[in-house]
Amino acid sequence: MSEPDKFVTIEELSKHFAISTSTIRSWYRRGLIPKETYFKVGGTYRFNLPKVVAALTKIPDPEVKPDPIVVPQEKVPHQLELDFGNPDEDR
């Protein structure tokens, strides 16, 4: 069983990234911190630390499986035939 997600306050999140809380506020207002990574209770925000880190560092969420890549089959290349003639005729 995996460890439950850790939710932190804006102060804890700012300490994690060693930035100010106003920068965190700016990031979520601008949409750099996705809405699915935090929730608001009353006037307090709680951030899902692993998901915020993944979103800001562009690390894919391990729970989200990417769509498989479908590579179309390439056409079979035509074999090139070269006719150099009879080597004995060139003499």
| Contact (CB, 8 A) for 7 and 48 | yes
Does residue 84 lie within any of the structural domains?
no
Question: For residue 24, what pLDDT band results from cuts at 50, 70 and 90?
Answer: very high
| C-alpha to C-alpha distance for 84 and 22, rounded to whole angstroms | 77
Does residue 28 lie within any of the structural domains?
yes
Does residue 42 lie within any of the structural domains?
yes
Higher-confidence residue of 61 and 42: namely: 42
Does residue 82 lie within any of the structural domains?
no
Residues facing 71 on adjacent strands: none
pLDDT score of 90 more than 60: no
Number of domains forming the structure of the chain: 1
pTM of the model: 0.58
Does residue 52 lie within any of the structural domains?
yes
Q: Write out the residue range of the structural domain in which residue 48 sits.
A: 7-57
Question: For residue 23, what pLDDT band results from cuts at 50, 70 and 90?
Answer: very high
